């Protein structure tokens, strides 16, 4: 079989057998298609699994490092993005090996060292400034306030937020379960303010659609074949946030994930322990949560001042 056919089978297995989301599967597809693009530049024939050799891998890594994104600006792939491509390749090779198909040993695919990104977060006063820019006399304004209250009080990923239905959220108990990365369930808790904001928004809704948050754009059809035709997309959430961040005069680059960072940072600054924050964020590994330990650094000054002898 050719690599192109095997990639399609691998992607199907990811979604069906491994339970990966369509979003994750799509990302794997984008990365693996680069293998075929690379092969098209070095060979005229269809690629076979045994064409993937240590020498092929060396040339592929060099090609990735020099790859220019087709945006007209000569932008290349970041080290982190290159690592994603190699993770996808390694997963594909493991799949082939498991099926007994001769190819490169997956353990030979080593990932490049990546620098831990600096976490951008919003302070409480900045979040309050954003909230003040949201009008509460329209359904759209009530929706936008509910979205941002929920993001900040729960630490939800944007993919988790847009997939919420009305009946998922228990506004009386102010808690619910969400299925996150790796199909893992975790409890989510929300504040009184977030619950009230959602209640206010739902009270203005005149529809019976299941989605918790709807797109009110005039370009969105009023009728559809499923209950999801007006569900907001990640890009829609991003645009909503950008609108109010600009209105509040905040110059930071703020995304939906910034609210997740802000959620974790706020908990740690108020004394929460790292393990609890890990559970609330749904991180499988504590090392992922440790990107937030920067917020505890200012507290070290107080520990030093309080407990170190001043001779």
Q: Per the domain annotation, does 172 fall within a domain? A: yes
Are both 63 and 38 inside the same structural domain? Answer: yes
Per-residue pLDDT for 238 more than 90? yes
Handedness of CA 7, 9, 12, 17 (dihedral sign): negative
Q: Is residue 307 part of a domain?
A: no
User: Domain holding 42: CATH number?
Assistant: 1.10.150
**Which is it for strands 175-179 and 185-189: parallel, antiparallel or unpaired?**
antiparallel
28, 156: one domain:
no
Res. 224: pLDDT tops 60: no
Of the candidates 188, 184, 154, 189, which has an alpha carbon nearest to the alpha carbon of residue 284?
184
Whether 163 has a pLDDT exceeding 80, the answer reads yes
User: 291 and 199 in one domain?
Assistant: yes
The CA distance from 179 to 187, in Å, is: 9
Residue 91: which pLDDT band, with cuts at 50, 70 and 90?
very high
Q: Domain check: are 131 and 101 in the same one?
A: no
Given this model, what pLDDT does residue 297 score? 62
At residue 92, the pLDDT reads 96
Q: Closest Cα partner for 103 from 58, 56, 55, 53? A: 53
215 pLDDT exceeds 80?
yes
Same-domain pairing of 98 and 134: no
| Confidence check: pLDDT of 136 > 90 | yes
The pLDDT value recorded for residue 290 is 81
* Within-domain flag for 117: no
142 and 263 share a domain?
A: yes
Burial class (CB in 10 A: 0-12, 13-18, 19+), 181: middle
Q: What is the mean pLDDT of residues 86-102?
A: 95
133: domain CATH number is 1.10.443.10
pLDDT at 201 > cutoff 60: yes
What pLDDT does 301 receive?
66
- End-of-domain residue from the set 83, 108, 133: 108
Helix 234-247 vs helix 124-132: angle between axes, to the nearest 10 degrees? 90
Span of 124-138, 147-161, 292-306 with lowest mean pLDDT:
292-306
Of 160, 189, 165, nearest to 257 by C-alpha is 160
Structure tokens at 255: 């995304």
In a domain, residue 201? The reply is yes
Specify the pTM: 0.70
The answer, yes or no, to whether residue 88 has pLDDT greater than 90, is yes
- Give the percent of the chain with pLDDT over 70: 90
Q: Domain range holding 191? A: 124-301
**Through-space distance between the first and last CA atoms of the chain, rounded to whole angstroms:** 76
Does pLDDT of 210 surpass 90? yes
Q: In total, how many domains does the chain have? A: 2
The model's confidence at residue 246, banded by pLDDT at 50, 70 and 90, is: very high
What is the arithmetic mean of pLDDT over 8-13?
A: 94
On whether residue 113 sits in a domain, the answer given is no
**Average confidence (pLDDT) over 272-289:** 87
Please check the confidence at residue 12 and state whether its pLDDT lies above 70: yes
Do 136 and 74 have their domain in common? Answer: no
Are 146 and 104 in a shared domain? no
Same domain, 135 and 100: no
Residue 164 has pLDDT above 60, yes or no: yes
Query: Which sequence positions are flagged as catalytic?
Result: 157, 181, 257, 260, 283, 292
Boundary of a domain, candidates 44, 79, 108: 108
Domain end call among 82, 108, 134: 108
In a domain, 250, yes or no: yes
By mean pLDDT, which of 34-38, 55-59, 95-99, 224-228 is the weakest?
224-228
Ranked by mean pLDDT, the top range of 118-127, 161-170, 281-290 is: 161-170
Is 170 in the same domain as 287? yes
Over range 172-179, report the average pLDDT.
Answer: 92
pLDDT at 187 over 80: yes
Residue 42 neighbours by CB under 8 Å, 6+ apart = 59
Let me know whether 128 and 23 are in one domain. Answer: no
Residue 119 lies in a domain: no
Average pLDDT, the chain: 88
Task: Judge whether residue 229 has pLDDT over 70.
Answer: yes
Confidence (pLDDT) at 82: 92
Residue 205: pLDDT over 70: yes
Task: Please check whether residues 139 and 186 belong to one and the same domain.
Answer: yes
Q: Which pLDDT band, with edges at 50, 70 and 90, does 221 fall under?
A: low
């Amino acid at each position: 079989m050719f690599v192109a056919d095997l990639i399609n089978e691998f992607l199907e297995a990811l979604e069906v057998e491994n339970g990966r989301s369509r979003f994750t599967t799509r990302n794997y597809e984008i990365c693996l298609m680069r293998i075929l693009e690379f092969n098209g530049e070095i060979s005229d024939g269809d690629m076979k699994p045994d064409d993937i050799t240590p020498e092929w891998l060396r040339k592929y890594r060099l090609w990735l490092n020099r790859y220019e994104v087709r945006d007209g600006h000569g932008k290349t792939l970041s080290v982190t993005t290159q690592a994603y491509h190699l993770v996808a390749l390694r997963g594909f090779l493991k799949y082939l090996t498991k099926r007994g198909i001769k190819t490169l040993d997956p353990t030979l695919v080593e990932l490049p060292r990546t620098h831990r990104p600096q976490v951008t977060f919003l302070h409480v006063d900045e979040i309050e400034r954003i909230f003040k820019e949201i009008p509460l006399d329209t359904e759209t304004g009530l929706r936008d306030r509910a979205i941002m209250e929920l993001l900040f009080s729960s630490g939800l990923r944007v993919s988790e937020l847009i997939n919420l239905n009305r009946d998922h959220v228990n506004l009386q108990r102010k808690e619910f379960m969400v299925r996150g990365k790796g199909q893992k369930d975790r409890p989510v808790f929300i504040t009184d303010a977030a619950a009230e904001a959602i209640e206010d928004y739902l009270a203005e809704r005149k529809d019976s659609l299941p989605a918790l948050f709807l797109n009110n754009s005039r370009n969105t059809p009023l009728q559809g074949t499923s209950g999801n035709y007006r569900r907001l997309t990640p890009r829609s959430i991003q645009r909503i946030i950008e609108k109010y961040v600009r209105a509040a005069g905040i110059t930071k680059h703020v995304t939906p994930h910034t609210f997740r960072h802000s959620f974790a940072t706020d908990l740690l600054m108020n004394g929460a322990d790292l393990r609890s924050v890990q559970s609330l964020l749904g991180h499988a590994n504590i090392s992922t949560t440790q990107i937030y330990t920067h917020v505890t650094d200012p507290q070290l000054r107080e520990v030093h001042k309080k407990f170190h002898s001043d001779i």
